[in-house]
Amino acid sequence: MKKLYILLFLIIIAVAFFGGMITQKHYGLGNLLKKANPTYIPQEKREAIAPEHRGKLSIFILAGQSNMEGDGNVEDYTPVNTDGRVYMFNENYLWLPGKEPVRNRIGPSIAFAKQIIDYDKNSYVGIINVARGGTNIGQWQKSYDEQSLYQIMLKRALASSSQGEIKGLLFFQGENDAEGDSTDHYNDWDVYFEKFVKDIRHDLHNEDLPVIFAQIGKGEDKLWKKVKNRQDSVNIKNVAMIKTDDLDFIENNVHFTTKGYVEIGKRFGDKFIEEVMSPSKNIKSIEQK
């Protein structure tokens, strides 16, 4: 009888041991944690920033509407080598390796970052793309509503700054304001934009924060031209504009091709380098008329 008890004991130990191995193999601690907590993030994804880059990022906010999000086909995109020096801060407040698509489709984000790191070989870039398709300039105004575009942008920007310094804001918006709805601002886009810039600079505690914005692209509609004219009239210290009206839209659309988005990103980068990073420039004297 004693031998039988010993045998049963050994069988129980063996079942527990091999059962545990099978459970770990097929489910694992990570999977069990995910089931218990859907927001659980694996350790390797929580530490995407290389140790030698932590706290040293040049961080850029990218805001506006769908052309800043990007709508290019992934199949038409040729990935670029960023040498692991580009990161993106997502909506879950996590730093991830920077690569397209930063959002759902190809946009200007990584092409911009590539220009910066190619110009400054010692730089590391962090991207925060908070653009929202279909929004007008009024929706980007300062608000204390926690779910507003402004607050979402501000909170992510402030949270990101623990890993570096916010070096600039890129903005691409205006197409929605050319639609002529009662809430659009085709006659005073510049007034609303200038207020937006003033407010975000104040809330980021940087009155000289460089801002580069893109003028909307091709369009013969009367209201479209009005928005472009208002964008031409922007005149704020440390604000510069890039043009996009030589680039082709997708047919029957106001979105650019994948190639167009890459070019827009490059133009953002070139303008930032020209106005801010070039040795011949003094950031406090930059004005765009």
Of the pLDDT bands very low, low, confident and very high (cuts 50, 70, 90), residue 149 is very high
Instruction: Give me the helices (H) in the chain, please.
Output: 2-26, 28-36, 43-46, 66-69, 109-119, 149-160, 189-203, 222-232, 258-272
Predicted model pTM = 0.83
Q: Are 95 and 128 in contact (CB under 8 A)?
A: no
Dihedral (CA of 132, 137, 139, 144) sign: positive
Task: Please name the residue that has the structure tokens 């990022």.
Answer: 57
Q: What is the mean pLDDT of residues 73-94?
A: 97
Q: Is the CB of residue 162 less than 8 Å from the CB of residue 57?
A: no
Banded pLDDT at 5 (limits 50, 70, 90): low
The yes-or-no verdict on residue 9 having pLDDT over 80 is no
pLDDT of residue 279: 83
Token readout for 99 is 């690569």
Residue 40 in this model has a pLDDT that exceeds 90: no
